[in-house]
């Protein structure tokens, strides 16, 4: 069983309801919710998105899914990504893998959650395992060592399918599974502002805790946020305000001055 946590902050101005709609549709097509759980942490979204949630509840009812596998938590205001996701992570069960899911991604392959689980079970040293966007730069032949990755074939027993992952330091957090062993060591997400760097910091914390970070590259996803709008500019400004603070924080993590554990 895995817990999927998705934070949403949709307003009439930012127009993100259409992305949330497509993301939820994607999840319903590709995830077995008899087995896995969905937790939506809503940061004060608009009425159009609230109606999406009503449709989701109706779908759950018609398919006779366990309502213990669906939570729509309304925060009433924009808490930021990390705090919103942490509310969902607080509900994780012992030994449960957790997925941080952005509300602007479409996944095309059924059973992807089970494949992420299987990969980590094959190699428990993987702390973060992500699905890879098409706009990312990491690849084994990249001339810049910051983006140079390497492929690893996971442990295999006769009769099992072969699984190859791409090991790299930074995993874009569009859709990432956290090993429960990692969460036991580092706690929840952290970011000093409402948006940005929670994924970057989690990757550093994972490596410092002794885990590998990787992509499961064969699963096809689309990042559907067009980005060229006022909300995109706000996100850039919000994250830009804390860039130097992030650099200092990473240095403190590496030096052991700052604990990598953050309370949920």
User: Would residue 200 count as lying in a domain?
Assistant: yes
User: Would residue 233 count as lying in a domain?
Assistant: yes
User: Would residue 261 count as lying in a domain?
Assistant: no
User: Would residue 214 count as lying in a domain?
Assistant: yes
Using DSSP's 3-state secondary structure scheme, residue 201 falls into helix
C-alpha dihedral, 174 to 30 to 217 to 10, nearest 10°? -10
Using DSSP's 3-state secondary structure scheme, residue 262 falls into strand
User: Would residue 262 count as lying in a domain?
Assistant: no
Predicted local distance difference test score (pLDDT) of residue 232: 78
CB burial readout 64-100, b (16+ within 10 A) else e: ebeeebbbbeebeebbbbbbbbbbbbeebeeebbbbb
Predicted local distance difference test score (pLDDT) of residue 167: 98
pLDDT in tens, 78-105: 999 999 999 999 999 999 999 999 999 9
Predicted local distance difference test score (pLDDT) of residue 151: 98
User: In the Cβ-directed half-sphere of 89, how many Cα atoms lie within 13 Å?
Assistant: 27
Give the chain's largest Cα–Cα span: 54
- For the entire predicted model, the pTM comes to 0.96
Predicted local distance difference test score (pLDDT) of residue 24: 98
User: Would residue 245 count as lying in a domain?
Assistant: yes
Residue 124's CATH number: 3.90.550.10
User: Would residue 145 count as lying in a domain?
Assistant: yes
Q: Domain containing 109: what range?
A: 2-255
pLDDT bin (cut points 50, 70, 90) of residue 234 is confident
Handedness of CA 169, 173, 174, 176 (dihedral sign): positive
User: Would residue 263 count as lying in a domain?
Assistant: no
Q: How many domains is the chain partitioned into structurally?
A: 1
Q: In 3D, which of 122, 192, 127, 189 has the Cα closest to residue 162?
A: 122
pLDDT in tens, 31-47: 999 999 999 999 999 99
């Amino acid at each position: 069983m895995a817990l999927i946590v998705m934070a949403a902050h949709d307003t009439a101005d930012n127009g993100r309801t259409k992305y949330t709609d497509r993301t939820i549709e994607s999840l319903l097509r590709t995830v077995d919710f008899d087995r896995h759980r969905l937790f939506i942490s809503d940061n004060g979204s608009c009425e159009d998105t609230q109606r999406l949630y009503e449709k989701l509840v109706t779908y759950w009812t018609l398919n006779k899914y366990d309502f213990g596998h669906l939570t729509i938590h309304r925060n009433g205001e924009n808490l930021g990504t990390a705090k919103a996701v942490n509310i969902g992570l607080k509900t994780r069960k012992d030994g449960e893998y957790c997925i941080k899911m952005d509300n602007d991604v479409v996944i095309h392959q059924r059973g992807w959650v089970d494949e992420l689980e299987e990969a980590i079970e094959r190699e428990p040293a993987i702390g973060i395992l992500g699905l890879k966007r098409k706009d990312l730069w990491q690849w084994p032949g990249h001339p810049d060592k910051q983006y140079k990755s390497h492929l690893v074939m996971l442990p295999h027993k006769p009769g099992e399918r072969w699984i190859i992952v791409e090991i790299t330091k930074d995993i874009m957090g569009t859709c990432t599974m956290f090993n429960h062993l990692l969460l036991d060591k580092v706690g929840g997400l952290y970011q000093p502002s409402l948006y940005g760097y929670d994924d970057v910091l989690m990757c550093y914390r994972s490596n410092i805790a002794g885990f590998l970070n990787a992509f499961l590259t064969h699963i096809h996803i689309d990042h559907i946020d067009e980005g060229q709008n006022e909300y995109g500019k706000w996100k850039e400004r919000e994250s830009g305000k804390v860039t130097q603070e992030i650099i200092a924080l990473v240095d403190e993590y590496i030096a052991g001055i700052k604990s990598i554990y953050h309370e949920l």
